[in-house]
Amino acid sequence: MVHPLPSGTRDVLPQEAAELREIGDALRAVFLRRGYGEIHTPALEYEQVMARGDLDRLPPAYRLFDEHGNTLMLRTEMTTPIARVVATRYAQAPLPLRFCYQATCYRAVRPARGQARELVQAGVELIGAPAPEGTAEVLSVLVEALAACGLRRFRVGVGDASFYPRLLSRLGVGQEQGSRLHAALAARDLVALSERVREVGIAGRAARILVEAPQLRGDRRMLERLEGEAREAAQGLLRLAALLEEEVVERLIFDLGLVREIGYYTGAVFEVYDPALGQPLGGGGRYDELLGRFGRPLPAVGFALNLESLHIALAGEERGER
Partner 1 sequence: MNPLAGLKLAVPRGTLFEPTLALLERLGVETAELRANERRLFFPELGVITMRPSDVPTYVEAGVADLGITGRDVLLEQSKLDSRHGRVVYELLDLGYGRATLVLASPAGAEDPAASALRRLGVVRVATKYPRIAAHYMEQTGRQAEIVEVKGSVELAAAVGLAEAIVDLTATGRTLRENNLVVREEIAVCTARLIANPVAYRLKAEAIDRLLARLRKDLGDGAEDRADRDR
Q: Which residues bind partner 1 (CB under 8 A)?
A: 57, 59, 110-111, 155, 157, 187-192, 215, 217-218, 253, 255, 271, 273-275, 277-280, 322
What is the rounded CA–CA span in Å between residue 256 and residue 235?
12
Give min distance, CB of 118 to partner 1, in A.
Answer: 19
Give min distance, CB of 90 to partner 1, in A.
Answer: 34
Identify the CA nearest to 268 among candidates 168, 170, 159, 181: 159
Q: Which is nearer to partner 1, 87 or 276 (CB)?
A: 276
Q: Which is nearer to partner 1, 71 or 215 (CB)?
A: 215
Give min distance, CB of 255 to partner 1, in A.
Answer: 6
Give min distance, CB of 146 to partner 1, in A.
Answer: 14
Q: Which is nearer to partner 1, 82 or 272 (CB)?
A: 272
Neighbour order of strands in the sheet with 97-106:
37-38, 97-106, 118-127, 300-306, 282-286, 268-273, 155-160, 252-255, 217-218
Q: Which is nearer to partner 1, 172 or 275 (CB)?
A: 275
Q: Which is nearer to partner 1, 8 or 280 (CB)?
A: 280
Q: Which residues of 252-284 are buried (b: 16+ CB within 10 A; e: fewer)?
A: bbbbbbbbbebbbbbbbbbbbbbebbeebbbbb
Q: Which is nearer to partner 1, 243 or 312 (CB)?
A: 312
Q: Which is nearer to partner 1, 30 or 240 (CB)?
A: 240
Q: Which is nearer to partner 1, 170 or 220 (CB)?
A: 220
Q: Which residues of 1-35 are buried (b: 16+ CB within 10 A; e: fewer)?
A: eeeeeeebeeeeeeeeeeebeebbebbbebbeebe
Give min distance, CB of 8 to partner 1, in A.
Answer: 14
Give min distance, CB of 285 to partner 1, in A.
Answer: 16
Q: Which residues of 205-226 are buried (b: 16+ CB within 10 A; e: fewer)?
A: ebbebbbebbebeeebebbeeb
Give min distance, CB of 273 to partner 1, in A.
Answer: 5
Q: Is 79 exposed, middle or buried (0-12, 13-18, 19+ CB in 10 A)?
A: buried
Q: Which residues of 167-186 are buried (b: 16+ CB within 10 A; e: fewer)?
A: bbeebebeeebbeebbebbe
Angle between helices 190-199 and 175-186 (to 10 degrees): 160
Identify the CA nearest to 190 among candidates 177, 181, 202: 181
Give min distance, CB of 278 to partner 1, in A.
Answer: 2
Identify the CA nearest to 78 among candidates 109, 48, 59, 53: 53
